[in-house]
Amino acid sequence: MRTSKDEQEAAAHFSERYRQPSGKALKRLERLVLGADFGGNGYTTVAQAKLLGERLNLGPNSRLLDIGAGRGWPGLFLAKTTGCAVVLTDLPIDAMRRAQERARKEALRERTAGVVASARRLPFRQETFDAIVHTDVLC
């Protein structure tokens, strides 16, 4: 799949950020501000993520698409708390690797997939998902 120049630049910029491991101080700050430490780069709090799960009526039979998922927040959280299956998409490969590592640690691998794809050209058929989220994404 071809990506535009601006998508390539964004992917390169965020790849550098996603390659950096989250240190103890950053994890502590993230838990304090957001209520979780998924290594996110956004501003969605646990309370907001829970509200998404409720409003989208996510449950064990739901399929969720998280566009611009980065390291997997809040998609992995929603999979863990609601039992839904989630497909995480983003352009930086490093982000998808970190998300898959987190999915393994959270015992979510069987309900999680990561796809390197642009939000502008997603490789999915219509009606594949019950719900779609895209929190903290720049378009």
- The verdict on residue 139 lying in a domain is no
pLDDT of residue 19: 67
The pair of structure tokens assigned to 87 is 């497909």
The answer to whether position 92 is within a domain reads yes
Q: Is residue 49 part of a domain?
A: yes
Q: How confident is the model at residue 138 (pLDDT cuts 50, 70, 90)?
A: low
Number of domains in the chain: 1
Q: Which domain holds residue 73?
A: 5-133
The owner of tokens 């950053």 is 26
User: Is 103 within a domain?
Assistant: yes
CATH code, domain with 21: 3.40.50.150
Under DSSP, is residue 16 helix (H, G, I), strand (E, B) or coil?
Answer: helix
The answer to whether 44 and 75 are in contact (CB under 8 A) is no
In angstroms, the CA 89 to CA 29 distance is 25
Whole-model pTM: value is: 0.82
Do the domain assignments include residue 52? yes
Instruction: Flag whether 116 is in a domain.
Output: yes
Does a structural domain hold residue 138? Answer: no
pLDDT in tens, 34-86: 777 766 667 788 899 999 999 999 999 999 999 999 889 999 999 999 999 99
Q: Which two tokens stand for residue 107?
A: 């015992």
